[in-house]
Amino acid sequence: MKSKLIVGNWKMNGGLRTNSALLEAIQSGLSGVTCRAAVCVPAPYLAQMQTLLADSPVAWGAQDVSAHEAGAYTGEVSATMLQDFGVRYCIVGHSERRQYHSETDALVAVKAQRALSAGITPIVCVGETQAEREAGQTEAVVKRQLAAVIHANGHCISEIVVAYEPVWAIGTGLTAAPEQAQAVHALLRKQLQAASSQADRIAILYGGSMNAVNAATLLAQPDIDGGLVGGAALQADDFLTILNSASR
């Protein structure tokens, strides 16, 4: 059985001193933690992660990557640039990118492709809005979003990580009931199995307001392989609680 994976998404938070203190507290509490762990941080702090986490079991990652390899794309960060900083993971298609930057399924698929080409594991986010859930469209939405990535990366789809993040549960304090989350995870697992004989290697994370209180119940579901953690990843005690829940 593969170990669970917990990834902290710091979003647009952090500072050199606060980052250092947070990571020191997390690393000092890792005794007994057996799950895989990572933090995805704003691009300016990747060099700091490379220094502070060099000898740590905690991996580091980016929150986005350019769909372009290089060129006149001011403000963009390419996959090869991320590679220079030892990045292990890269979030692509987060709902905030889809919503605020109008990222399409096709663009997310290309970004996943760019990450894979640089040896970086893309964490592909999929999820429905509240309106889509109420309209009974959850299954169609998440399958469409994942299908675009499978179509563009079918030959190496077993190298990705998938994160199911119901948009209505991100940063709202709402969380999908464990049964709701499990149902979508099982659906995604079936879709991946149809696309690859090695689909069981793919971790499917839950990414909708996982916290220290609900993590154990969510992680007990058979198709939830870990979590993409937002606010709780900024508090060492909370993040460690989740890591310990994933290590049982």
Cβ–Cβ < 8 Å for 56, 27: yes
Nearest partner of 69 among 36, 114, 27, judged by Cα: 114
| Amino acid making up residue 142 | V
Angle between helices 138-153 and 178-195 (to 10 degrees): 30
Q: Which residues contact 10 (CB under 8 A, 6 or more apart)?
A: 39, 40, 41, 42, 63, 233, 234
For residue 99, give Cα distances in angstroms to 61, 88, 105, 111, 167: 21, 25, 12, 16, 10
Widest Cα–Cα separation across the chain: 48
How far apart (Å, rounded) are the C-alpha atoms in residues 176 and 126?
A: 14
Distance of alpha carbon 248 from the chain centroid: 21
Q: Which residues are known catalytic residues? A: 94, 165
Q: Which residues contact 150 (CB under 8 A, 6 or more apart)?
A: 157, 191, 192, 195
How far apart (Å, rounded) are the C-alpha atoms in residues 201 and 199?
A: 5
Helix (H, G, I), strand (E, B) or coil at 38: strand
Cβ–Cβ < 8 Å for 187, 150: no
